[in-house]
Amino acid sequence: MRNFDLTPLYRASVGFDRLADVMDRAMTADVASTTYPPYNIEKTGEDAYRISIAVAGFAADDLNVEVRDGAVIVSALKADEDEGRTFLHRGIATRAFERKFTLADHVRVEGASHVDGMLHIDLVREIPEALKPRRIEIAKTPARVGKLDA
Protein backbone atom coordinates (compact mmCIF):
# COMPACT_ATOMS: atom_id res chain seq x y z
CA MET A 1 0.00 0.00 0.00
CA ARG A 2 1.19 3.49 -0.79
CA ASN A 3 1.63 6.23 1.75
CA PHE A 4 0.77 9.76 0.75
CA ASP A 5 2.19 12.81 2.44
CA LEU A 6 -0.60 15.38 2.72
CA THR A 7 1.64 18.10 4.15
CA PRO A 8 1.75 20.08 0.86
CA LEU A 9 -2.05 20.13 0.85
CA TYR A 10 -2.11 21.64 4.34
CA ARG A 11 0.60 24.19 3.41
CA ALA A 12 -1.01 25.42 0.20
CA SER A 13 -4.70 25.45 1.02
CA VAL A 14 -7.19 26.74 3.51
CA GLY A 15 -10.34 24.90 4.48
CA PHE A 16 -9.49 21.54 2.92
CA ASP A 17 -8.54 19.87 6.19
CA ARG A 18 -11.76 17.83 6.14
CA LEU A 19 -10.85 16.46 2.69
CA ALA A 20 -7.38 15.59 3.93
CA ASP A 21 -8.85 13.85 6.98
CA VAL A 22 -11.16 11.78 4.74
CA MET A 23 -8.24 10.76 2.53
CA ASP A 24 -6.11 9.94 5.55
CA ARG A 25 -8.88 7.76 7.06
CA ALA A 26 -9.41 5.96 3.76
CA MET A 27 -5.71 5.15 3.45
CA THR A 28 -5.40 3.84 6.99
CA ALA A 29 -8.68 1.91 7.15
CA ASP A 30 -8.42 -1.60 8.51
CA VAL A 31 -9.44 -3.88 5.63
CA ALA A 32 -10.76 -6.63 7.91
CA SER A 33 -13.19 -4.27 9.64
CA THR A 34 -14.50 -2.85 6.35
CA THR A 35 -15.93 -6.12 5.01
CA TYR A 36 -18.78 -6.61 7.49
CA PRO A 37 -21.57 -6.02 6.87
CA PRO A 38 -21.53 -5.84 3.07
CA TYR A 39 -23.03 -2.71 1.53
CA ASN A 40 -23.77 -0.90 -1.75
CA ILE A 41 -23.68 2.80 -2.52
CA GLU A 42 -25.72 3.78 -5.55
CA LYS A 43 -26.68 6.97 -7.31
CA THR A 44 -30.46 6.96 -7.66
CA GLY A 45 -30.92 10.38 -9.26
CA GLU A 46 -29.15 13.58 -10.27
CA ASP A 47 -28.68 14.58 -6.61
CA ALA A 48 -29.86 11.44 -4.82
CA TYR A 49 -27.96 8.49 -3.37
CA ARG A 50 -28.76 5.30 -1.46
CA ILE A 51 -26.63 3.27 0.93
CA SER A 52 -27.91 -0.32 1.22
CA ILE A 53 -26.48 -2.50 3.96
CA ALA A 54 -27.12 -6.25 4.28
CA VAL A 55 -28.30 -6.71 7.87
CA ALA A 56 -29.73 -10.23 7.82
CA GLY A 57 -30.68 -11.36 11.30
CA PHE A 58 -31.08 -7.84 12.69
CA ALA A 59 -34.47 -6.33 13.49
CA ALA A 60 -35.06 -2.61 12.93
CA ASP A 61 -34.87 -2.11 16.73
CA ASP A 62 -31.34 -3.59 16.76
CA LEU A 63 -30.09 -0.96 14.28
CA ASN A 64 -29.12 2.66 14.90
CA VAL A 65 -28.57 5.30 12.19
CA GLU A 66 -27.06 8.58 13.33
CA VAL A 67 -25.69 11.68 11.60
CA ARG A 68 -22.73 13.16 13.44
CA ASP A 69 -19.75 15.32 12.43
CA GLY A 70 -20.51 15.16 8.70
CA ALA A 71 -20.94 11.40 8.62
CA VAL A 72 -23.67 8.78 8.72
CA ILE A 73 -22.88 6.21 11.40
CA VAL A 74 -24.73 2.90 11.28
CA SER A 75 -24.37 0.60 14.25
CA ALA A 76 -26.02 -2.57 15.48
CA LEU A 77 -26.06 -4.38 18.77
CA LYS A 78 -27.52 -7.86 18.77
CA ALA A 79 -28.69 -9.42 22.01
CA ASP A 80 -27.27 -12.89 22.57
CA GLU A 81 -30.18 -15.18 21.73
CA ASP A 82 -28.08 -18.30 21.18
CA GLU A 83 -28.48 -19.58 24.72
CA GLY A 84 -29.32 -23.28 24.53
CA ARG A 85 -28.90 -23.49 20.73
CA THR A 86 -26.34 -25.71 19.04
CA PHE A 87 -25.23 -24.73 15.54
CA LEU A 88 -23.76 -27.32 13.17
CA HIS A 89 -22.79 -24.49 10.83
CA ARG A 90 -23.11 -20.77 11.46
CA GLY A 91 -22.80 -18.71 8.29
CA ILE A 92 -25.07 -15.80 9.18
CA ALA A 93 -23.08 -13.33 11.21
CA THR A 94 -25.07 -11.23 13.64
CA ARG A 95 -22.18 -9.64 15.46
CA ALA A 96 -22.23 -6.02 16.56
CA PHE A 97 -20.82 -3.52 14.09
CA GLU A 98 -20.32 0.15 13.40
CA ARG A 99 -19.90 1.51 9.89
CA LYS A 100 -19.18 5.15 9.11
CA PHE A 101 -19.89 6.89 5.79
CA THR A 102 -18.44 10.40 5.39
CA LEU A 103 -20.84 12.80 3.69
CA ALA A 104 -19.89 15.49 1.20
CA ASP A 105 -20.90 19.08 1.83
CA HIS A 106 -24.63 19.75 1.42
CA VAL A 107 -25.58 16.05 1.53
CA ARG A 108 -28.22 15.17 4.09
CA VAL A 109 -29.99 12.00 5.14
CA GLU A 110 -33.54 11.96 3.83
CA GLY A 111 -34.65 8.77 5.57
CA ALA A 112 -33.96 5.11 6.34
CA SER A 113 -35.94 1.91 5.91
CA HIS A 114 -35.47 -1.75 6.87
CA VAL A 115 -36.91 -4.17 4.30
CA ASP A 116 -36.18 -7.88 3.72
CA GLY A 117 -32.91 -7.92 5.65
CA MET A 118 -31.61 -4.74 4.00
CA LEU A 119 -31.15 -1.33 5.61
CA HIS A 120 -31.61 1.45 3.05
CA ILE A 121 -30.43 4.98 3.82
CA ASP A 122 -31.56 7.60 1.32
CA LEU A 123 -29.41 10.70 0.86
CA VAL A 124 -29.98 13.89 -1.08
CA ARG A 125 -27.59 16.68 -2.07
CA GLU A 126 -29.15 20.11 -1.65
CA ILE A 127 -26.98 22.90 -2.96
CA PRO A 128 -27.88 26.22 -1.31
CA GLU A 129 -29.29 28.88 -3.63
CA ALA A 130 -26.27 31.12 -2.98
CA LEU A 131 -23.91 28.45 -4.38
CA LYS A 132 -25.91 27.66 -7.51
CA PRO A 133 -24.73 29.20 -10.78
CA ARG A 134 -26.64 32.29 -11.75
CA ARG A 135 -26.69 34.54 -14.76
CA ILE A 136 -25.71 38.16 -14.25
CA GLU A 137 -27.51 40.65 -16.44
CA ILE A 138 -25.25 43.20 -18.09
CA ALA A 139 -26.62 46.72 -17.89
CA LYS A 140 -26.71 48.57 -21.19
CA THR A 141 -25.80 52.23 -21.03
CA PRO A 142 -26.93 54.63 -23.73
CA ALA A 143 -24.23 55.58 -26.25
CA ARG A 144 -22.78 59.05 -25.73
CA VAL A 145 -23.66 61.52 -28.44
CA GLY A 146 -21.79 64.73 -28.97
CA LYS A 147 -18.65 66.18 -27.46
CA LEU A 148 -17.00 65.07 -24.27
CA ASP A 149 -17.43 67.44 -21.36
CA ALA A 150 -14.26 69.15 -20.25
3-state secondary structure of 101: strand
> What is the C-alpha separation between 63 and 99, in angstroms, rounded?
11
Domain 34-129 falls in which CATH fold?
Immunoglobulin-like (2.60.40)
Residue ranges covered by each domain of the chain? 1-30, 34-129
pLDDT of residue 13: 63
Q: How confident is the model at residue 84 (pLDDT cuts 50, 70, 90)?
A: confident
Distance CA 86, CA 15 (A): 55
How do residues 60-70 score in pLDDT, each as one tens digit? 999 999 999 88
CA distance 38 to 58: 14
pTM over 0.75, yes/no: no
